[in-house]
Chains A and B, each alone.
Chain A
Amino acid sequence: MEVLSMEDVAKHEKDTVLFPDFSLKVYRQGVTAIYSSLNVRHVLLNMLIGKHSVTSGKIFVQNESYNINRRAYLAQIAVCFFEEGMYERLTIMDCLKFYQGLYQSKQTFEQVLQWTQLEDKTHTKVSKLTFSERRRVQFAKVLLQDAALYIFEEADLNVDLETKRVFSTIIQKLQENQKAILILTGNMENAISVADEVYRLDEKGLYKVEIDEGKDEDVKKEVPDAEEKEQTFKFHKIPTKINEKMVLFDPPEIDYIESKDGQAHLYIKGEAFPTTFTLNELEGRLHYFGFFRCHRSYIVNLQKVREVITWTRNSFNLILDDQAKSSIPLSKGKMAQLKEILGLK
């Protein structure tokens, strides 16, 4: 049964398209993540809580719409904001008592405290908590609500390992209780680690991200040290230089990388940005994001590849899904590797 249903929702801001119309359904027990830029995330969240009116398209939660019955709609959603205001001077217990009274919750404190691992902090003031512990208090707040749809905004960004663990337990508990979960994040790793379905939302629309492929690659690389793996993710933007300015790009934005005159150029929407890294360095850094060294002087973002064209038996080209439909050479030796990645023999 579907809990959240978004139909042809779109947002334009002045002349720019934030995201074109898309439809999305989140079902009971489903965990869906939307990976997007900060801007898109804010707009989407504000639409979901009714702060921005939905100008084109419709949003329903349990068949309730904000415009028709505001209270019934809001009663169906529980939101855990990234920048949630908290009552700093109250202790955790007082906060929870307040939320319990406010939401008329039947959930017991013991249960919630146990799930959020806050049992030994109940008499600590909120202002004295660490960032991760505050996050867990916010999780506790959400758990005290009895909604159909739970929305988490950047729930496990910059938190410690314990909180990450708490977060995935909470998701599991909510799933067991027949709830639907929507995760809004700007961090692909977070999205992939907890969600069943991951989508990317940008000005081109809503795209489903295949999780399995990413997992396979992780296994293939066999990174034994979890810490080392995390560091790779923490520092994943690629710096480029334009005139005297430094511009940082998110790997998913990059279409492909070309080495020209001894310098690597990132291609983003048909524009080239020179970077100081060598192709070998980039290959190492971008491996996790589904980038593939398809040629001695090319690295391609596999997510963007639309077609593989065979010219002759020994010459291949990759056609990308970008505006210019760029064509990139694929070396003969690399074809076997690519087939392996694609799961073809």
Chain B
Amino acid sequence: MTFSMKRVLAIFNKDLKDLSKNMFVSTSILMPLVLAAIYGRMAEDLSIESYYLVINLAFTMTATFIQCAIIAEEKEKNTLRGLMLSPATIPEIFSGKSLVAFLLSIVTIVVSSIFMEYYPENVALVAVAIVVSTLFYIALGTLLGLLARSVVEASVIIMPVVFLLGFGSFIETLMDKYPILHFAEYLPNLQLIEFATKVQAGSGLTDVWSHLSVITAWFLIVSFLTIVIFKKKEIDA
């Protein structure tokens, strides 16, 4: 089995073009950008929490939702069958698709950060965390995309994700009231906030690696689940 970059690029190009003409999905990128612009103009000095409210929203709205929608659409329009019969391998198909979501999320996050004037103390370290998180959200999007049967269904099942992971920082306030919710601090979005706060305070890799590994663990778990569900669906179909 050979991994052909040409085929990945063909799928990437096709999905990017398709997405640019699909207003329903591509406008979801605007939401974090608009929010970032408003936040940036509203206050002079924003807290790390507000920066990451927007960044987490960008993750769910672009990485997860776009990935979920393009996979669901491929299923809905019956084009996935053609792809499966083509010489493209399954890793090639999904890398091509993930590349679109990945690129768009990174662009959205960078642009939102510029809008909000967020400049991390240690750019490299934060960049690594952002990339790992993006991978997690894309894997989550793939998983949901496999479960959704149509684009409309995709936009419905994305809602709990947006609330839990996008606006998740509100859970922290609830956590003090209800100790049972303490498990929530292991959610990848809260881990990312913790991570960023520590980095902003000047910590190095030695202090923050635990957060990074939790996010990586999330990515691995979701990827594993995605593969399991994919195999199951393939047998069912």
Enumerate chain A interface residues (CB-CB to B < 8 A): 49, 51, 71, 74-75, 77, 79, 81, 83-90, 94, 97-98, 100-104, 125, 141
CA distance A88 to B237 in the complex (A): 24
Contact A104:B4 (CB < 8 A) given known A49-B85, A74-B85, A89-B18: yes
Q: CB-CB < 8 A to B77: which residues of A? A: 85-88
Within residues 85 to 109 of chain B, which ones have a CB less than 8 A from any CB in chain A?
Answer: 85-89
**Given A71-B1, A84-B78, A85-B78, A101 contacting B13 (CB threshold 8 A):** yes
The 8 A CB mask of B1-41 against A (1 = contact, 0 = none) is 10010110111011001100110000000000000000000
CA distance A84 to B86 in the complex (A): 14
Q: When the two chains form their complex, are residues B18 and A90 in contact, meaning their CB atoms are under 8 A apart?
A: yes
B10 contacts A102, CB within 8 Å?
yes
Contact A87 to B79, CB < 8 A, known contacts A51-B237, A98-B14: yes
By a CB distance below 8 angstroms, the chain B residues around A77 are 85
B contact residues around A97 at 8 Å (CB): 10, 13-14
| Contact indicator A98/B10 (Cβ below 8 Å) | yes
- Chosen A-B contacts, 22 in total, with CB atoms closer than 8 Å, are A71-B87, A75-B87, A77-B85, A81-B82, A87-B14, A87-B77, A89-B21, A90-B14, A90-B17, A98-B10, A98-B11, A101-B6, A101-B13, A101-B14, A102-B11, A102-B83, A103-B86, A103-B87, A104-B4, A104-B6, A125-B21, A141-B82
Question: Which residues of chain A have C-beta atoms less than 8 A from B237's C-beta?
Answer: 51
CB distance from B101 to the nearest CB of A (A): 17
The answer to whether A85 and B82 touch across the interface, beta carbons within 8 angstroms, is yes
CB contact between A102 and one of B7, B22, B80 (< 8 Å): that residue: B7
Indicate if B232 sits at the interface (CB-CB under 8 A).
no
Q: Which 3 A-B pairs have the closest CB atoms?
A: A101-B10, A85-B78, A85-B79
Instruction: Chain B residues near A94: list those with CB within 8 A.
Output: 14, 17
Is the CB of B231 closer than 8 A to any CB of chain A? no
| Cβ distance A48 to chain B, nearest Cβ, rounded Å | 10
**In whole angstroms, how far apart are the Cα atoms of A71 and B91 in the complex?**
14
Nearest A residue to B17 by beta-carbon distance? A94
Residues of chain B with a CB closer than 8 A to A90's CB: 14, 17-18, 21
* Shortest Cβ gap from A67 to chain B (Å): 14
List residues of chain B with CB under 8 Å of any chain A CB: 1, 4, 6-7, 9-11, 13-14, 17-18, 21-22, 77-83, 85-89, 237
Q: 19 additional contacts, CB 8 Å, given A89-B18, A101-B10?
A: A74-B87, A79-B85, A81-B81, A83-B78, A84-B78, A85-B79, A87-B77, A89-B17, A89-B21, A90-B17, A94-B14, A94-B17, A98-B14, A101-B6, A101-B13, A102-B7, A102-B86, A104-B7, A141-B82
Q: Which residue of A lies closest to B77 (CB)?
A: A85
Q: Which residues of B contact A88 (CB under 8 A)?
A: 77
- For the complex, give the distance between the alpha carbons of A141 and B95 in Å: 22
Contact of A89 among B22, B80, B81, B88 (CB under 8 A): B22
A78 (CB) vs chain B CBs: closest residue = B85
Q: Which residues from A are CB-within-8-Å of B83? A: 102
- Which residues of B sit under 8 angstroms from A89, Cβ to Cβ? 17-18, 21-22
Least Cβ distance of B172 to chain A in Å?
Answer: 41
Write out the residue numbers on chain B whose beta carbons fall within 8 Å of the beta carbon of A125.
21
B24 to chain A, nearest CB (A): 11
Q: Which of chain A's residues have a CB closer than 8 A to the CB of B22?
A: 89
In Å, the complex CA distance between A75 and B22 comes to: 31
Residues of B within 8 A of A101 (CB): 6-7, 9-11, 13-14
In the complex, what distance in Å separates the CA atom of A102 from the CA atom of B4?
A: 10
> CB-CB < 8 A to B21: which residues of A?
89-90, 125
Q: Which residue of B lies closest to A83 (CB)?
A: B78
What's the minimum C-beta distance from A81 to chain B, rounded to whole angstroms?
A: 8
A90 to B11, CA, bound (A): 13
- In the complex, what distance in Å separates the CA atom of A88 from the CA atom of B83? 15
Q: Give B20 Cβ to nearest chain A Cβ, in Å.
A: 9
| B85 surroundings in chain A (CB, below 8 A) | 49, 74, 77, 79
Chain A proximity of B97: nearest CB distance (Å): 13
* Alpha-carbon gap, A117 to B83, bound state (A): 25
Q: Is the CB of A98 within 8 A of B87?
A: no
